[in-house]
């Protein structure tokens, strides 16, 4: 028995504001708040654990994403999504907040 897996990822993106924080933050490498300070603030405000993805890029320095998102989408898949779709609309001094809609479609091969 084989299982086919299809993943669809889409996002709503807007300027970051506390609260609320839904699924993901993308920090520019010149953003007014650094990743360490943002992670501490998130830990104080939200009980759900977040994963930190550090990037070496000319615009984006860090991605903070809810841990459960990475159970559905690979780390590399998420990075590719951010670089292809969010980076072109982002400046290095911005922090973007994204609400992700991850759908996983499963079917068995029979």
pLDDT in tens, 18-30: 555 789 999 999 9
Q: Token pair for residue 3?
A: 């299982």
Q: Token pair for residue 59?
A: 């615009």
Give the pTM: 0.79
pLDDT at residue number 20:
58
Q: Token pair for residue 44?
A: 């104080």
Q: Token pair for residue 82?
A: 């951010």
Across 2-6, 41-45, 71-75, least confident range:
41-45
Output the CA–CA distances (angstroms, integers) from residue 73 to 32, 95, 101, in the order listed. Answer: 29, 22, 11
- What gap in Å lies between CA 81 and CA 70, rounded to an integer? 13
pLDDT in tens, 57-84: 999 999 999 999 999 999 999 999 999 9
């Amino acid at each position: 028995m084989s299982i086919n897996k299809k993943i669809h990822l889409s996002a709503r993106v807007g300027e970051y504001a506390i609260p609320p924080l839904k699924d993901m933050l993308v920090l520019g490498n010149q953003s007014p708040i650094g990743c360490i300070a943002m992670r501490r603030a998130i830990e104080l405000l939200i009980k759900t654990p977040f994963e930190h993805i550090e990037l070496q890029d000319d615009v984006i320095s860090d991605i903070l994403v809810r841990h459960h998102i990475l159970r559905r989408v690979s780390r590399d898949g998420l990075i590719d999504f951010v670089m292809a779709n969010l980076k072109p609309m982002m400046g290095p001094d911005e922090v973007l907040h994204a609400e992700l809609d991850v759908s996983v479609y499963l079917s068995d091969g029979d």
